Chains A and B, each alone.
Chain A
């Protein structure tokens, strides 16, 4: 036993075939492990499991240990347990009956109060590929899909494809679960459920409609892998739902295909029929806008996904933005480069202009691997045009001198392609290639021959000397393809070289039997052509060659010889065809078009495996063509809950009073467009405020809803309904913040009504704390100020000259014996972005007097101090004002429903929750409200069941939502939602302190 133990010990890491294990029978070894697994000591179990896992890792079979291992599934030691899971998932398929023993453990785990344990139980349970437990899995997934914890729901989403692959029969049930999870609002779930959607039911595009806008808005906060999956799916979705943004734009480049042209005409025709200018669907715009920042992702897959989305969906003028990001990826690992270059090659055919500025980034270094070099060449060739061709050719000249011969061959082909595409340089290229014919390397020469052949076909008359030169090469060059090319050339243009051609045939006839098959075929070809043009000199030679070919081993060659003999050699039986022999052989052949192998590859979705391989991979979802007419965009409308409708209707009233002519002008100018611009400004102002990424949620979603309705209206008949429609549009228009403020300040009648209905004695005015209660801070002490003492407090009044500033009330007291003169602010040293609105200079402050002034400071929503100098006529004092976080905001009015809605949109990173125990004196509702509003300048949400407070930051207007939920025994939960995480965190601290002390 001991010896065996030792052997086993060393075995773990010896990869050689002569494993000590093999010297003993496996059962012996495993007996030992079994014993360890059965022991009571966790350390022994762990040791055994580690060795078993090492065996699995090396691909050794450890399945006979199954019973011994499964017993430990409920082991207390976490590492043992994890390793048992690894083992179980690996072998459960082979030992189905025994695997069932473990199921009950996981079922228990599914009910655990800890979300992580629930998740992990589901994860392992769903990974066990045993068909009998399908119903159990289904049940577990269904339950987990409505779990409280988003993490468990995420795990449920992961489990869906597992179950689907185990039992495709469950598809319908699983789709239900997917539908449910797609509606989930958390970023954690989004990526995983879309993954499940793609694996189970990618064709059910209808499930996406209602979630489309939410997915677009969540996208930036989803983890990177989920982003890739979502973006790819949305690309397909957009292709089915929106119109081609480029349909009115001519796509004509220099290489436009006939087919494309036809297509273009067709789309143009349909465009004319509809007689409507193309207006981008706001949802289409939303997708483009929300994916763009992801071009900055560190993850190459995400960048590629966005790039392909733009390539397939964006208007031509906007696609350019992806070039820079793709070029940046080329600095990454060579595998990444390889994939990116493949995609760039395809893109650069369709949209050459996009990559032209980055031409030099595709220059080749001698240290690049060959496969990268070849791809870069491809891109360079695609980018070549009249203006840059000389630079590119100069670059190619350096490449030809490389010692990587495969690369040189590729370069020669690239030169050939440039020459066919750009007429101006054809002669230069040809001369260059002819020079290469004297190169020492045969491969180079051969490749040149092949390319020259293709070029000569374009204008053979002018180049008979080149043909002569090449004819001479047949003596030296051995590469079959090159020999064949030369022979074909001579045969085709034998009239240009009447003297040399028969001689070449003579030489070839001599070596016929030793040639490769392609060369033999070309010799026969040459013979036939010469026979037709110059039968006097070549009749015998031709017959000799045909005789040789008749007895060749290759049946293709025998067939060809028979065929040609019948065709060209006149016999009595020869039919009508031989009359046309000359026309058949010496017909004018069109010059070959040298095409990129990447041409038209973009019918595969870029970035996909299928595109890379240029063949459809299993599970590839075809990228649909744009629809001729857009499907109904209203399917993406999400039902607006009753309360928002109500409140916005009220707001509309106000707006109407404000701007009576708004509606008319909008009705004319096309609702969609204006809606789009509205949502643009919404996001613009948001990014201006430098808020959190996830911030995009609230405003833009709202604006899309309304723009949606606008375009919906667009579809409807104009005329009779028009007036009504316009009104509707306005109803859903997002109310600009200023208007919202207006609503708060003016408090229209209906608002008061609501207060009356509300039994609680809480209302907005209460939050404006009387100035007597305001905490004052010292700015300048009496002693340092030489008798002048200065205090300040945050007055919590709006600062009228600039609404983005915090009003600071400053009180000067002159306790010196003489009067102070010309008090003013000077030389403010501020953080970037901060601003100060100074108070008017106080000319005289007599001794013993006190005076108050108000100044405004824009703290830029940060608690950094504003430093400045306070000057009197004699002295200057350095002072600084640092605001508590609670003073950086101002109250806004909000209904409870609005509060709930906004709170729902500020989840995730923007939500901070703390549990606390309220201090005894502060358990009453009034006390809590009092303390919170003292700590922060917020207003209580009226008629709320909980204690909810709302405000917005002064500078950027980001929402700040606070709620305190009290439970028994003074326990409470504090939740702060704010786009600005820093503010949120600090505010939590301050309020916590206020409530607990």
Chain B
């Protein structure tokens, strides 16, 4: 399946290669570089590139291209999903997935890749199994290893692969037993010129950090499981139980993992009503105009909270790609700071918290290229924000129970709402 893997950095150097079958010359990447040149933006490189003898399937993460070489028919998503899993594993191991981190840990990277694929077919991709095989490098361990000459490779033979619950390590022990769950929702929305909602949907995840001794069996139930009709699960979740009782029952992996992700669209919130009923937490009043024949444009933007369930809107960041004709801006924010990059024409305004009594606004003028005609495109405004302690869809965890172990774990649940792809058209 996957023949070889090349890691290419943003300047076009191949800085790591790994082959699972016979060696494929790195010159195969030339086809990739060609495609890269043709693409206007880095993310416009086609994920699948056919070459005379091979196919290149690539993903771009953290400004590194992971280019897999394929020789024959294989579902492209299979490879893409696997490459993303590789990146996730690196991130898990090294904290960040940068070129420097990969180069510093090249031996661990190689050992990981060796375990993850056998003859190009995925072998062990569960983080818990990998960590049993190869211990992640920490500063302490690096120091100890240098002094004592011990290694990162697990001394014990990995039993996880043989276990009935392959995602969990055996013999886990903690002095403080704790289980934390973060319910994070992102709202994706497109708001049109007049302020009405074109689409709005919520993408939620429940991320867990479980540090429990032994083999705990957890059940998590919701106050309103009705909301969750479009979900995907970590393999540990017992699907049948969910189908029957709408309870999440699972033996958790050790450490951090994504328990479930869900999608709440306007349809499943209110089956018969329109999209505008997903609560939109902020509104934007805007007035961006260019006049024909004048070298000035007006820019006015005011933000305000809308349906926030009584919680404050924080970490607000507004960004907008202004038309190419704009030379510079002269704007006054009532709070926060704004920057305008005359090269990329990117305006960004770090607002901070929205105070409902004194709404933040950004007003002023834009200077246009003299003599040029007025730009005919209108900029889109992208907004980011956070609302702590609430999940926009109203999803609430009812209770978490543990079976199979005797101790009393510490349990915690946190809610947060964020803006996902939140766009306002002008």
Contact = CB atoms under 8 A, between A and B. Distances in A.
Contact of A151 (B60, B162, B190, B263): B162
A278 interface: no
A982 interface: yes
B198 to A, nearest CB: 6
Chain B contact-residue range equals 35 or more
B155 to A, nearest CB: 7
Contacts of B81: 299-301, 336
A608 B215 contact: no
B16 interface: yes
B281 to A, nearest CB: 18
Given A296-B231, A690-B249, A116 B157 contact: yes
A836 interface: no
Contacts of B70: 609
A835 to B, nearest CB: 14
Interface stretch (A503-511, A593-601, A610-618): A610-618
Given A298-B235, A328-B232, A158 B119 contact: yes
A373 to B, nearest CB: 10
A297 B423 contact: no
Interface in B194-244: 198-199, 201, 203, 215, 217, 221, 230-235, 238-241, 243-244
A981 B217 contact: yes
A338 B47 contact: yes
A369 B76 contact: no
Given A151-B161, A690-B249, A608 B75 contact: yes
Nearest to B9: A15
B378 A401 contact: yes
Nearest to B265: A361
B77 A615 contact: no
Given A59-B14, A78-B151, A158-B119, A335 B233 contact: no
Interface stretch (A223-231, A732-740, A754-762): A223-231
A296 B161 CA distance: 23
A111 interface: no
A387 interface: no
B164 interface: yes
Pick from B60, B165, B232 the residue with the most CB of A within 10 Å: B232
Interface string B75-115: 11110111010000000000000000001101101110010
Contact of A296 (B84, B233, B245, B247): B233
Contacts of B18: 57
A363 B198 contact: yes
Given A115-B162, A225-B125, A686 B240 contact: yes
A305 interface: yes
B245 A43 contact: no
Contacts of A406: 40
A900 B175 CA distance: 42
Nearest to B381: A366
Contact of A328 (B71, B238, B263): B263
B74 to A, nearest CB: 6
A127 interface: yes
Given A363-B199, A607-B77, A618 B72 contact: yes
A617 B19 CA distance: 21
Nearest to A366: B380
Contacts of A336: 77, 80-81, 84
A803 B188 CA distance: 50
A869 interface: no
Chain A contact-residue range equals 35 or more
B235 A224 contact: yes
B258 interface: yes
Contacts of A609: 48, 55, 70, 73-76
Contact of A339 (B80, B121, B421): B80
B199 A618 contact: no
Contacts of B107: 50, 53-54, 83
Contacts of B15: 15, 58
B14 A863 contact: no
Contacts of B152: 79
Interface string A375-401: 000000000000000000001001001
B244 A689 contact: yes
B245 A367 contact: no
A82 interface: yes
Question: Which 8 residue pairs spanning A and B have beta carbons closest together?
Answer: A619-B72, A43-B149, A79-B151, A690-B241, A79-B153, A360-B199, A366-B380, A620-B73
Given A12-B106, A608-B73, 12 more contacts: A158-B123, A223-B122, A223-B166, A225-B122, A232-B75, A298-B261, A304-B77, A325-B232, A609-B48, A612-B48, A613-B55, A621-B73
26 contacts: A43-B149, A46-B151, A57-B18, A85-B114, A126-B119, A129-B22, A155-B118, A158-B118, A158-B121, A225-B122, A298-B233, A325-B230, A335-B58, A338-B46, A339-B48, A339-B80, A361-B265, A369-B43, A371-B44, A440-B376, A610-B73, A619-B73, A687-B243, A690-B240, A690-B244, A908-B164
Interface of A: 12-13, 15, 41-43, 46, 50, 53-54, 56-59, 77-79, 82-83, 85-86, 90, 93, 114-117, 123, 126-127, 129, 149-151, 155, 158-159, 161-162, 165, 192, 195, 220, 223-225, 228, 232, 293, 296-301, 303-305, 324-325, 327-328, 331, 333-336, 338-340, 357-358, 360-361, 363, 365-367, 369-371, 395, 398, 401-403, 406, 439-441, 607-610, 612-613, 615, 617-621, 686-693, 695, 832-833, 862-864, 908-912, 981-982, 985-986
